[in-house]
Amino acid sequence: MLRECIKRKAHEVVYKTGTRDPIKICEAKHIPVYYDDLGNQIMAYHAIIKRIPAIVLSTRNSEFENTYSCGHELGHHFCRHTGNTECLNRSNLRFSTMGNEAEANEFMVDLMLDGVNPRDYETKRQLLQACGIPTWAERYADWERMTNGVVY
């Protein structure tokens, strides 16, 4: 899926649900979110059970982690990744440029930054923090486009 399509999809979802909060988007879209103890490593996964999509989040996550993990799993949902996608794993939180995991991360960032004006924040770091984006995902943000040439 092209980056442009991912961005458009994320924007459409925010527009239709009226929120950038991944958990609230699940409510609005009737995507069940379950909480389970997934152990030390796994933070979240996306499952399709009898053709009904669901997102499972670890009870060991912080609220911050749950929010972006949910955004990542929504990426798998809306990019229609039907095969087995990797679980979001603590040891696997990094920037990658290809494949389903990269697309899910791109969607997460596009969704959580949709409509945000970078000029409202003094630094990139502040913006990311305010929008709940973890620092490892910083490189997915399309700064140039968001700021229309304003350089930090």
- Of residues 104 and 131, the one with the C-beta less far from Zn ion: 104
- Of residues 13 and 105, the one with the C-beta less far from Zn ion: 105
- Of residues 74 and 104, the one with the C-beta less far from Zn ion: 104
Smallest gap from Cβ 106 to Zn ion, in A, equals 11
Confirm if 2 and 24 have CB atoms less than 8 A apart. Answer: no
Smallest gap from Cβ 103 to Zn ion, in A, equals 9
- Name residues whose C-beta falls within 8 Å of residue 101's C-beta, 6 or more positions apart in sequence: 85, 86, 92
Smallest gap from Cβ 84 to Zn ion, in A, equals 10
- Name residues whose C-beta falls within 8 Å of residue 2's C-beta, 6 or more positions apart in sequence: none
- Of residues 110 and 118, the one with the C-beta less far from Zn ion: 110
Residue facing Zn ion at closest CB distance: 104
Q: How far apart are CA 134 and CA 2, in angstroms?
A: 23
- 86 to each of 9, 20, 28, how far by Cα in Å? 21, 24, 25
Residues within the interface to Zn ion (CB under 5 A): 85, 101, 104
Smallest gap from Cβ 76 to Zn ion, in A, equals 6
